Amino acid sequence: MSLIVVGTMAFDAIETPFGKSDRVIGGSATYVAYAAANFVQPVQQVSIVGNDFPQEEMAELSRRGVELDGVEVVPDKPSFFWSGRYHMDMNTRDTLVTDLNVLADFDPQIPESYQGAEFLMLGNLMPSLQKKVIEQLKERPRLIVMDTMNFWMEIALDDLKEVLTMVDVLLVNDSEARQLTNEFSLVKAAKKILKMGPKYLIIKKGEHGALLFHGDNVFFAPALPLEDVFDPTGAGDTFAGGFIGHIARTKDISYENMKTAIIVGSAMASFCVEKFGPERLKEITRADIDRRLQQFQELVNFDIELV
């Protein structure tokens, strides 16, 4: 039951209409790891940080069963830095700064101890590096899930399309699905993406839930209506961590189980947005997660008599 997680470990500066944070811990792999470690251990992390990434954060991750042998520490450079500003709806944002820093010359090396992993979560990262990781694995994992972002569609589309041919599941948000296909209809966009390589596609729609496409099938998971959303940063990665965490725990890669996995992903994402950075993810217990899953069940459970 092993899971490799690849992605960024970073500092973020976030602005929302309701507040501002200067420098909080972020990064796609950080959020994925915090979420997934609730379901599966070890989480075998592959990433890179600079001399400024806090030791306490590393210690907290390893306390939760995240192995850090695949995380390179560069002594003389700062960590990846991203800054974004959310719009009034908190569903859309503008990237203000992307400073690659250590990421610019990252050459991921998979430790020998990670070989044989059953599941691979390619968190948001340069597509060429996502590909490098897949190529280093001596045995193909049972399921490869990939996340990406508009930024890479703009500067590395060809590489991204190549990685798409190598993965099983793609996770994108609605605007990214539209950007990748030039289709406004998400159903048409999904059809096109499913021809690019992945057999499964998850389209996240922020506070409007997520869609899972496979062949001609489509399944919908709602997002939990929350009174306060402080910071949506990392919600997508946390969703991914919950999704792959559930799959890795159950070892079941069927479409039916993926339906449950996107509910688990939505539940985890609903925690993430309640505080800045990954703070809320560090507070919650297994009991909190179970209670929230119960809320999801109540949210969508209804009887109907068809005549």
Interface residue list for ligand AMP (CB under 6 A) = 8, 10, 12, 26-28, 82, 98, 124-125, 149, 151, 233-237
Q: Which one, 2 or 13, has the nearer CB to ligand AMP?
A: 13
CB of 150 to ligand AMP, least distance (A): 9
* Residue ranges with strand state E in 141-292: 143-147, 169-173, 200-204, 210-214, 217-221
Q: Which one, 2 or 186, has the nearer CB to ligand AMP?
A: 186
Residue of this chain nearest to ligand AMP (CB atom): 26
Q: Which one, 124 or 260, has the nearer CB to ligand AMP?
A: 124
Q: Which one, 41 or 233, has the nearer CB to ligand AMP?
A: 233
Q: Which one, 2 or 144, has the nearer CB to ligand AMP?
A: 144
CB of 98 to ligand AMP, least distance (A): 5
CB of 131 to ligand AMP, least distance (A): 15
CB of 302 to ligand AMP, least distance (A): 30
CB of 103 to ligand AMP, least distance (A): 8
